[in-house]
Structure 1
């Protein structure tokens, strides 16, 4: 499945929502990767990647392996194991309209916490308390 840069109005709206949330996390950068995906990174390590295929947005999130197993095990799940990097805990949402925004936010924070240095995770936790 080839991905392309985000172009459809729904993909761009989803990106804007993700960007608004991610830029509130400590030291997050938005960057396009070599495949044209829009990524959000901390210390140059991605924790979320967005692409588009036939006008449909694809959102891949870095999760704990236990979270990945739980999400993939749900009946009628909107998640699938991300090709190539799924063995590292990445899941992809094949239809973001089926996933509540609060769930996506929780997964973004989980991915950030798995990726960021402990110092930044502590900084995030102290701002949440």
Structure 2
């Protein structure tokens, strides 16, 4: 786990961690100096960004085809095209602005679904079914 996030990043990191770790076979480890989440040991589906490349707090996440453009068109003050992984369609989400955490949860789940094997996606779907 990340030892010392900045004080303003501690709560968003905790909330993001809760969303990511609720997914089947999700793991967390440090990648590029930040908390990052993977399906088992690999592939990565999200990474926290505590002033990593700028003066902002946020995270980046894998995204299905076309989703990055959709989120950017909705609100460029809350979403961004992240350096390095934006060219692969990942979406950046600012966490130092007011966010809709239901939308953040959707982005995290979509990121997971984008990289997870079908067996884990099937498991997630089964867990999401009302009883």
Q: TM-score, normalised by structure 1?
A: 0.86
- Corresponding residue for residue 101 of structure 2: 101
2:73 is matched with which residue? Answer: 73
Check whether the contact 1:62–1:90 (CA below 8 A) recurs between aligned residues: yes
Tell me which residue corresponds to 2:38.
Answer: 41
Over residues 83-105 of structure 1, what are the superposed CA-to-partner deviations in whole Å (9 max), with x where a residue is unaligned?
11112111112344332000000
Q: 1:87 to 1:56 in 2, by over 3 A?
A: closer
In the TM superposition, what whole-angstrom CA distance separates every residue of 1:33-77 from its partner, at most 9, and x where no partner exists? 1x2021011032111101211774221111113111111123554
Aligned to 1:121: 121
Find the counterpart in structure 1 of residue 13 from structure 2. Answer: 15
Q: Give me the CA root mean square deviation.
A: 2.1
Q: Distance in 2 between matches of 1:31 and 1:59?
A: 14
Moved more, 72-81 or 58-67: 72-81
Distance in structure 2 (CA, Å) of the matches to 1:56 and 1:126 = 36
**Structure 1 gaps, min length 5:** none
CA distance in 2, matches of 1:78, 1:11: 16
Aligned residue pair count: 125
CA–CA separation in structure 1 for the residues paired with 2:38 and 2:73: 27
Partner of 1:87: 87
Once structures 1 and 2 are overlaid, which stretch shifts more, 48-57 or 9-18? 48-57
Distance 1:75 1:13 in 2: 22
